[in-house]
Amino acid sequence: MTVLVIENCENVTLGLLGQALDHAKMPIDLRVMTQNDPLPTDISKFNGLVVLGGLQHARADEEFPFLKDVCDTILAFHEADKPVMGICLGSQLIARAFGGENILGNPVEAGWLPLQVSEQGKQDPVISAFEEDDHIFILHTDTYTLPKDAVHLASSEMTPNQAFKMGRATYAIQFHFECSVDQVNHWNGCFHGPINELVPHWNEILEEQGPKFGPRTDALGLEISRRWIALL
């Protein structure tokens, strides 16, 4: 079984999801959009799709014309009943693909933060991995409205729509379950300027929240990954 992975931005990678795919001995086919990799027109050899995050917003077609093609690929996998996982920008592109509104330029939401899992989320095979008082890493400004027929799975204090599902297995996840503490520290190096400009208390988040919530969050991210992989 091969999973198609769409990377929209350098250094925004599979992280914990990649570890889980490797452990499951599931090969990936990586397409790096900033290097003009083509997207497949025939998806028959793929069992699932992952659309990763990025610094761009979901409607930035003029600068990143590949975004519309990513939306078309999402719909193709969904219509073929092949599981889809969209993370951060990936979730915003799923919302766009299914007719949701992309809400751009909200105040930043950042840190290891608690989620409120919906009743549907508590019954969901993936999101039910969350336990009471769990935190997860979140870093974004943009958000979205729910498309028609979406199943709402989770929210946070600032963001009503942190996760939703379309159909059986198309998951839109705004939060970064794939980010281990090590990955966040890596982002602190490669995106240090933009993050510190966006999040004035970023160093405090790293120093206080990372050690406190990171070990459980790393385990939770792997469990969410394994549960989605089981759907393949």
**Per-residue pLDDT reduced to its tens digit, 128-167:** 999 999 999 999 999 999 999 999 999 999 999 999 999 9
Determine how many CB atoms are found less than 10 A away from the CB of residue 219.
14
Residue 216: per-residue pLDDT: 97
Residue 91: per-residue pLDDT: 98
pLDDT at 6 over 90: yes
Residue 104: per-residue pLDDT: 97
Residue 94 vs residues 126, 198, 206: alpha-carbon distances, Å: 17, 25, 30
Please check whether residue 56 is in contact with residue 8, taking contact to mean a CB–CB distance below 8 angstroms.
yes
Average pLDDT of span 62-88? 98
Residue 193: per-residue pLDDT: 87
Q: How far apart are alpha carbons 195 and 209 in whole angstroms?
A: 16
- 3-state DSSP: the chain helix, strand, coil percent, rounded to 5? 40, 20, 40
pLDDT at 1 over 90: no
**Per-residue pLDDT reduced to its tens digit, 162-197:** 999 999 999 999 999 999 999 999 999 899 888 988
